[in-house]
Amino acid sequence: MTAVPDDVLTVRGLTVHRGGRRILSGVDLTVRRGSVVGVVGPNGAGKSTLLSCLYRHTAYQQGQVTVDGRELRTLPRRELARVIAAVPQDTPIVFDLTVEDIVAAGRIPHTGALGMDRKRDRDVITESLRRVNLEQLRHRSAATLSGGERQRAFLGRALAQAAPVLILDEPTNHLDLANQEQLLGLVRAHTGTTLVAIHDLNLAAEYCDQIVVLDAGTVVADGPVDEVITADLLKRVFRVSAHVIAHPDSGRPHIVPAARGGSR
């Protein structure tokens, strides 16, 4: 029997130029199968650009990305969609689709647009709607959804895609606290591998196994949550003074910004 390699995704020397500027410089990254990897960094650090290279929306000029040992660039589009499912940031709704249509689109790489009749596809669509808590809205026009409902519809589509690697760019944008936790709980329960760009470092610390920190297009830290989320990193990269304490329930790092008005 062939052993399944531990690393599902590797990035080596990834360099991206856009609009005459270098956006990513020699990014290296190794993602272990089944892990949840948080990609964090200040605004403009290159998080979205990195993720969009991984779902092949952005071309890279140098470097190599491999998924299960295969170079990303060589994968036919349909095969790529069976391996990597992505929820980009603020995906626009182009046509007047229902919520169910959006989620059903996740099955196209498996069936083709005309073959979506199989019981298995219908079951996966229903289960995906249930997981993102949109069963009640399945026949609603997506154009009428709130920002948070829309975000969950696109996550439903990615879950229906049933790809082993899930890429989420700022999935908690537009979500209230309960829905943030519910969504990241879904990510945790996902049996595959997840890469998630996220601004809220406390959520990242709570839900991720590995944190990759980007600053000005380079990786400045990469490792287990408790090694990466430190007061020194917050000062150096995010330019804020904060305490990093152990969360009283989970024991994971938890950031408490330094008091701005002095102590009482």
Ligand X SMILES: Nc1ncnc2c1ncn2[C@@H]1O[C@H](COP(=O)(O)OP(=O)(O)OP(=O)(O)O)[C@@H](O)[C@H]1O
Question: From the list 6, 18, 78, 224, which residue makes contact with ligand X (rule: CB under 6 A)?
Answer: 18
Please state, in angstroms and rounded to a whole number, the distance separating the CA atoms of residues 87 and 79. 17
Residue number of the CB closest to ligand X reads 19
Give 3-state DSSP helix, strand, coil % of the chain, rounded to 5.
35, 30, 35
Shortest distance, position 23 Cβ to ligand X, whole Å: 4
- Tokens 């005309």 — which residue? 114
> Is residue 137 within 8 Å of residue 145, measured between CB atoms?
yes
Instruction: Write down the least CB distance from residue 45 to ligand X, Å.
Output: 4
Among 5, 6, 13, 44, binds ligand X (CB under 6 A): 44
Instruction: Establish if 48 lies at the interface with ligand X (CB under 6 A).
Output: yes
What 3-state DSSP class applies to 27? strand
Stretch that binds ligand X, among 37-45, 126-134, 223-231, 242-250 (CB under 6 A): 37-45
49 binds ligand X (CB under 6 A): yes
Please state the length of the chain: 264
Per CB under 6 A, 38 contacts ligand X: no
Which one, 22 or 82, has the nearer CB to ligand X? 22
Contact criterion met (CB below 8 Å) for 156 and 103: yes
- Smallest separation (angstroms) from ligand X to the CB of 19: 3
d(CA 168, CA 166): 7
- Count Cβ atoms below 10 Å from residue 236 Cβ, excluding itself: 13
43 binds ligand X (CB under 6 A): yes
Q: Binding residues for ligand X, how many (CB under 6 A)? A: 12
Q: What is the largest CA-CA distance in the chain?
A: 66
Contact residues: ligand X, CB under 6 A? 18-19, 21, 23, 41, 43-49
